[in-house]
């Protein structure tokens, strides 16, 4: 991902965010913004049960737990009444399904109890300008779920040849009804970067809409998470980031955050 197209002011914000020192208060705040995630092919009910236990930390619950659709009913039952939201992935990880595919997957996930949908943006179609329009996949989720669910659109930032195309994809996602822009699936070699996050956060700011941001894919250390939080608030305002507007998708990060509190 090129950084030369970013202006000096944005590059300065990125540099400051990268150098932000984690503090116990920041670490504790970030715990409440974690989407505790397991999306491995070898996931088992036993592993997911452990994940559900981990979601209820000594300092409070994480924001959500994100699992494959086949584990949604299990997590819903295990975390009932805790405040932890149940997220699942749709058209994952390639984003190459049709709007009809997305609608069917989403309907099943919602029937199983999902509160949040993390939908992979059809970046392949978008980049080749192939029909149907990428926005139709996003609108398919809205058609079946309405606005009672939280829709996070995974842009897969490493797929774009330049910052301009990532900017345009971000705008398409917001215009089609995304509640959150999310960086990555975690299934490609190029995951989240502060440069890509700056682009997405700027588009969110310019939209004037209540759209959140989620960093995922390679966010494994406390300084990484702190950097994304600092960058988000430098662009969208101090105190902007809450579990309703900001998430970190991670698995191995949570115990490190708890150790830093």
Name the CA radius of gyration of the chain, rounded.
Answer: 17
- The answer to whether the beta carbons of residues 73 and 109 sit under 8 Å apart is no
φ/ψ region of 146 (left if φ > 0, alpha if ψ in -120 to 50, else beta) reads left
Report how far Cα 257 is from the mean position of its chain's Cα atoms.
18
Known active-site residue 256: no
Task: Catalogue the E-assigned strands of the chain.
Answer: 34-38, 56-57, 60-61, 64-67, 85-90, 116-120, 150-154, 180-182, 212-216, 246-250
Tell me the β-bridge partners of 201. Answer: none
Q: Write down the catalytic residue from 35, 118, 152, 179.
A: 118
Known active-site residue 171: no
Dist CA 201 CA 9 (whole Å): 14
Q: Write down the catalytic residue from 76, 136, 152, 182.
A: 182
Known active-site residue 162: no
Q: Write down the catalytic residue from 76, 136, 152, 214.
A: 214
- The residues assigned a catalytic role are 118, 182, 214
């Amino acid at each position: 991902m090129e950084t030369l197209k970013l202006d000096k002011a944005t590059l300065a914000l990125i540099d400051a965010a990268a150098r932000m020192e984690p503090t116990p208060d920041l670490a504790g705040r970030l715990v409440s913004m974690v989407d505790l995630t397991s999306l491995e092919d070898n996931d088992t009910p036993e592993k997911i049960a452990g994940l559900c236990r981990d979601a209820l930390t000594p300092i409070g619950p994480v924001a959500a737990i994100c699992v494959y659709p086949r584990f949604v009913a299990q997590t819903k039952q295990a975390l009932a009444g805790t405040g932890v939201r149940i997220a699942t992935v749709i058209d994952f990880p390639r984003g190459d399904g049709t709007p009809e595919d997305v609608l069917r997957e989403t309907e099943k996930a919602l029937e199983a109890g999902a509160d949040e949908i993390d939908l992979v943006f059809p970046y392949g179609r978008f980049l080749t300008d192939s029909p149907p329009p990428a926005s139709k996949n996003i609108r398919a989720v809205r058609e079946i779920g309405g606005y009672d669910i939280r829709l996070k659109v995974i842009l897969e930032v490493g797929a774009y040849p330049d910052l301009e195309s990532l900017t345009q994809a971000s705008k398409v996602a917001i215009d089609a009804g995304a509640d959150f822009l999310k960086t990555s699936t975690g299934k490609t070699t190029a995951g989240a970067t502060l440069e890509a996050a700056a682009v997405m956060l700027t588009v969110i700011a310019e939209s004037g809409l209540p759209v959140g941001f989620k960093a995922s894919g390679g966010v494994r250390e406390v300084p990484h998470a702190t950097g994304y939080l600092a960058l988000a608030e430098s662009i969208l305002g101090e105190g902007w980031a809450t579990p309703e507007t900001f998430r970190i998708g991670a698995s191995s990060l949570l115990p490190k955050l708890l150790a830093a509190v």
